[in-house]
Amino acid sequence: MKTAIGIDIGGTKISIALGNEKGKILSECLIPTRTGTQTRQSVRELIRNIKKLLEKYPAPKYKNLGIGAGLPGPVDPHKGTVPVSPHLGGWQGIPLRKILEKETGLPAVLANDANAAAVGEKFFGQGRGVSDFIYMTVSTGIGGGIVVNRRLLEGAGFVAGEVGHMTIVPDGDPCKCGKRGCLEAYASGTAIAGYVERQLRRGTKSILGKLKSKERVTAQIVGLAARRRDRLAIQAYERAGFYLGIGIANLLNILNPEKIILGGGVLKSSPSGFWSSMRASCKRDAWPEAIEAVKIVRSHLKGNSGNLGALALVFDKGS
């Protein structure tokens, strides 16, 4: 059986999985992400756990083709170093690909996590058999990956697919990236929570106003309130859906793909108003030919899409 190791390196935890070429995870483990002065220790722990997984599934029955790793930020796959990311202080510049290859004797490939997830969709999900599609993850932030002619578009500076940072409102709301008016500042989980907080401060009535000050408003909690027909909560999701629809319409007019595949936590907690609002503004702003040609679908990958994406990077390299 052909297998690969997929690693999803996030700001708080690292998920390590061994799976086969059908996208079935055979075994996985989670370790905390240690940063700063503890980074070296964290890398050692990562290597140790990879080795353990490899020992558990030995040749000749299991033929491990390599190791894939998804990381936040723009990843140069040729350099194979960890990119600058606010979530991974201390990791920046670590030659992770070389370390993985030297320690395991296997080929390794690094990629941006949302790009990896797009490759995961191509191999295991809604992207199978689709020539041109865009994967978008709507979560704390908004990321993406673009597949053209069955190939991931990396971009000349390895930042292709940063769909969350298209400007949707010139000089608009501030975004975590330092710019203003990004799609992420209007349609991400952070944006939904931020909008509710601003409205609460302005005195808008809502069951969310009853949260104790210790409890932070999150998109998930707003989603629960929306299900209980809280007006502000519904409005917050509809607003996010409105802007997301415009962002998708822009992608349709520019790239005219066969599919838009949506993933990420915000979709899980979103009420129906989010979807209808998204579809309405998308239909309004996209060309009829582009709307007619596209299927806008949700990712149906179960489990950790980060791991599946990282696994797929290995199989993609071999294909």
Among 208, 226, 249, 266, binds a copy of itself (CB under 8 A): 249
Among 13, 40, 102, 179, binds a copy of itself (CB under 8 A): 179
We find the least distance from the C-beta atom of residue 110 to a copy of itself, in angstroms, to be: 15
Considering beta carbons, is residue 43 or 240 the nearer one to a copy of itself?
A: 240
Segment interacting with a copy of itself, rule: CB under 8 A, options 46-54, 100-108, 174-182, 268-276: 174-182
Q: What are the residues facing 259 on neighbouring strands?
A: 133, 295
Among 103, 173, 197, 285, binds a copy of itself (CB under 8 A): 285
Q: Per the structure block, which two tokens stand in for 245?
A: 């629809």
Torsion sign across C-alpha atoms 148, 167, 233, 241:
negative
Among 9, 42, 165, 269, binds a copy of itself (CB under 8 A): 165
Considering beta carbons, is residue 55 or 292 the nearer one to a copy of itself?
A: 292
Name the phi and psi angles at 311, rounded to 5. -60, -45
Among 161, 263, 271, 306, binds a copy of itself (CB under 8 A): 161
Considering beta carbons, is residue 3 or 139 the nearer one to a copy of itself?
A: 139
Asked if residue 153 binds a copy of itself (CB under 8 A), the reply is yes
Considering beta carbons, is residue 168 or 310 the nearer one to a copy of itself?
A: 168
Report how far residue 117's alpha carbon sits from residue 96's, in angstroms, rounded to the nearest whole number. 19
Asked if residue 173 binds a copy of itself (CB under 8 A), the reply is no
Asked if residue 258 binds a copy of itself (CB under 8 A), the reply is yes
- CA distances to 10, 117, 145, 164, 306 from 148, rounded to whole Å, are 27, 15, 10, 19, 21
We find the least distance from the C-beta atom of residue 87 to a copy of itself, in angstroms, to be: 17
Asked if residue 292 binds a copy of itself (CB under 8 A), the reply is yes
Asked if residue 185 binds a copy of itself (CB under 8 A), the reply is no
Asked if residue 132 binds a copy of itself (CB under 8 A), the reply is yes
We find the least distance from the C-beta atom of residue 142 to a copy of itself, in angstroms, to be: 11
Asked if residue 195 binds a copy of itself (CB under 8 A), the reply is no
- CA distances to 14, 100, 123, 304, 318 from 301, rounded to whole Å, are 19, 27, 11, 8, 22
Considering beta carbons, is residue 50 or 290 the nearer one to a copy of itself?
A: 290
- CA distances to 22, 123, 149, 232, 244 from 277, rounded to whole Å, are 35, 30, 30, 15, 9
Asked if residue 169 binds a copy of itself (CB under 8 A), the reply is yes
Interface ranges with a copy of itself (CB under 8 A): 74, 132, 146, 148-149, 151, 153-163, 165-170, 177, 179, 181, 242-243, 246, 249-251, 253-258, 281, 284-285, 287, 289-290, 292-294
